[in-house]
Amino acid sequence: MIKNISELYSNNPLSGVQMILNEAIEEIVDNVMVVSDETNEESVNEMMDILTSSKNVFVIGQGRSGLVARAFAMRLMHLGIGVYVVGETITPAIDDDDCLLAISGSGETSYIISTAKIAKMREAKIVAVTSYSESTLGKMSDLVIHIKGRTKVDSEKNYIKRQMDGKHLSLSPLGTLFEVSTLIFLDALIAQLMDKMGKTEDDLKKRHTVLE
């Protein structure tokens, strides 16, 4: 006979796995909703103005943030905006009528910082998407889009201190909260850009690759 809920989960590993999975999903969704609630209309409008007025948009991100940058670049291409992924062989020089969209949760990724310095030196606008507005990347950017990610609580190794603070370790590893929230924010921005530019899904489909 099962005496308590702990015994139930200990005897049924799958139930425990499902519980963790559900809590992780809820944590990610909650973070996305925080990002939505904190979205600043003025910043979004300024970001759209920069993207649509630039001759070319250059996007950059490292690791999983790089995948988010590529996904966004694809949608910008569908909208007819000139866009390049930094690091590709066909990426041209950046100029003063271009912009760099840099995605970095910490805002301290060395490769992104060095790239942003070059863009700034060439007088291109810089839009930073980061969790830390006061980071090196944030301070050198023309516009900062704040996307909430993991807090510094997760670096606190003292279990008792975390418990006393009423805080617990995230169930979403490393940069998951930032990366997923950024992906959703940028996809939502595409919807806003479609409205601003008078584009429909059919317009985007016309620019979708046929070389498949």
pLDDT tens-digit map of 47-79: 999 999 999 999 999 999 999 999 999 999 999
Contact (Cβ atoms closer than 8 angstroms) between residue 51 and residue 81: yes
Q: Which of 49, 54, 118 is nearest to 87 (CA)?
A: 118
Say what the alpha-carbon torsion angle 49, 53, 58, 64 is, to the nearest 10 degrees. 20
57: in domain: yes
CATH, residue 33: 3.40.50.10490
| Mean pLDDT computed over every residue of the chain | 87
**What pLDDT, on a 0 to 100 scale, did the predictor assign at position 160?**
47
Q: Residue 23: what pLDDT?
A: 87
Residue 161 belongs to a domain:
no
Range of the domain at 122: 7-150+170-204
Model pLDDT, residue 156? 47
Our answer to whether residue 179 is catalytic in this structure is yes
3-class SS letters over the chain: CCCCHHHHHHHCHHHHHHHHHHHHHHHHHHHHHHHHHHCCHHHHHHHHHHHHHCCCEEEEECCHHHHHHHHHHHHHHHCCCCEEECCCCCCCCCCCCCEEEEECCCCCCHHHHHHHHHHHHCCCEEEEEECCCCCHHHHCCCEEEECCCCCHHHHCCCHHHHHHCCCCCCCCCCCHHHHHHHHHHHHHHHHHHHHHHCCCHHHHHHCCCCCC
Options 26, 41, 88, 179, the catalytic residue: 179
Residue 109 within any structural domain of the chain: yes
**Which residue in this structure is represented by tokens 């606008």?**
125
Round to whole Å and give the CA distance between 174 and 160: 22
Q: Is residue 76 part of a domain?
A: yes
Q: Is residue 157, in this structure, part of any structural domain at all?
A: no
**Residue 102 near residue 87 (C-beta atoms within 8 A):** no
Domains identified in the chain, total number: 1
What is the value of pTM for the model shown?
A: 0.83
Q: Mean of the pLDDT values across residues 148-172?
A: 54
pLDDT > 90 in the chain, percent:
73
- pLDDT at residue 8, rounded to an integer: 45
Q: Is residue 71 part of a domain?
A: yes
Supply angle C-alpha 49, 50, 55, rounded to 5.
115
pLDDT 10s digits, 91-145: 999 999 999 999 999 999 999 999 999 999 999 999 999 999 999 999 999 999 9
pLDDT of residue 13: 56
pLDDT score, position 5: 42
Quick one: pLDDT at residue 51? 98
Question: Is pLDDT above 60 for 35?
Answer: yes
Residue 100 falls inside a structural domain: yes
Residue type at position 209: T
Q: Is residue 20 part of a domain?
A: yes
Q: How confident is the model at residue 171 (pLDDT cuts 50, 70, 90)?
A: low
